Structure 1
């Protein structure tokens, strides 16, 4: 098994479990439903966390392989998989080296995870590797603001925020990273969302991109 020791953040994981439940009640559940609507076939979910997406997968999905590096969150995801409406297999691994085969998936899902992967380019290259030609990436992420004041504030707080929030970088331009990875964004909406009352409202993007057929 790959060494996942650098991904172990038990204090953050426990806080994330509490916050994610509250966030679901604050509108995040609806965003997850939009993210996953219409998926079918075989899906890899990268950074599955505690499995909050699982109950939203549509019945046309044949299998979800859910990759999560953090031990506590992965254990929670395994419990959530038991109540999922589709088959979910939870595996240990991380976005920079997905423990799955080349071209084996109809879709990949990233949900509030590209903010915290060590290297977006590496993670998105892995997405391209595991998708079949014409396969799609579904993404739901918080991103750097286009407004200059908030954007600069996000830049300023990022070094400290990374320490307290499990490596999260709130100032990433994730849509640009997706395009630079050679994936074609076909649909994207941008909106402000406050996951929990104790956090500020931040810009989010939700959409889909496709791996070219050739």
Structure 2
């Protein structure tokens, strides 16, 4: 079943925006988030393939799901340069194209902010992970300070309409535990640093396992 998304304006803009972040620390964040990955991996929302160079040698294969047509084409090009075997497929997080207990690792990098139904997506992740599997994630989240969180909620009145559905005020790390995962590691940080932070500045890198 096709779930193709066509958002060419965002797809053209996103690689240029992401290039700045990669050059200013995001590459290191991706490597940190992916370090625990092993075995057969499902990556959700692969974008244009920025994670592909950072998979460790313990990974045997990656199935990379990307619903946006333009980004998926770019991901397929990046897959040829990847450090591990990568297959790029169409699909959405709420209906993953995978059998139950099919993967050792699921990877989410700056994608759970934009899925339409976060609870459904996390339920699907839980379904496709093996009982001893792991969820590796790198996401921006709602701030823990009340003032910044109010700012993020206000930004979300407009932000999703100009950023491919991204929402800056989601409590993604809390949703992960509510979806039946045990948090094994969580590091919070602000990225990029600065006196006037972007609404996406609160980040987490984490590792969770199904309960």
Q: TM-score, normalised by structure 2?
A: 0.95
Corresponding residue for 1:3? 3
Corresponding residue for 2:95? 97
Shift of 1:199: 7.0
Tell me, in whole angstroms, the C-alpha distance in 2 between the residues paired with 1:20 and 1:70.
16
Counterpart mapping for 1:28-177 below 5 A: 28-177=26-175
Corresponding residue for 1:206? 205
Aligned length: 209
Shift of 1:46: 0.3
Spell out, residue by residue over 1:106-137, the C-alpha distance to the aligned partner (whole angstroms, 9 max, x if none).
Answer: 01000000000001100000000100011000
Spell out, residue by residue over 1:140-176, the C-alpha distance to the aligned partner (whole angstroms, 9 max, x if none).
Answer: 1001111111110100110200100110010000011
RMSD: 1.6
Tell me, in whole angstroms, the C-alpha distance in 2 between the residues paired with 1:192 and 1:22.
16
Tell me, in whole angstroms, the C-alpha distance in 1 between the residues paired with 2:157 and 2:201.
17
Tell me, in whole angstroms, the C-alpha distance in 2 between the residues paired with 1:128 and 1:144.
23
- SS of 1:159 mapped into structure 2: coil
- SS of 1:126 mapped into structure 2: helix
Tell me, in whole angstroms, the C-alpha distance in 1 between the residues paired with 2:8 and 2:197.
21
Tell me, in whole angstroms, the C-alpha distance in 2 between the residues paired with 1:65 and 1:58.
15
Shift of 1:38: 3.2
Give unpaired runs (5+ residues) of structure 1: none
Aligned partner (choices 16, 22, 34) of residue 14 of structure 2? 16
CA contact (8 A) 2:3 2:92 kept: no
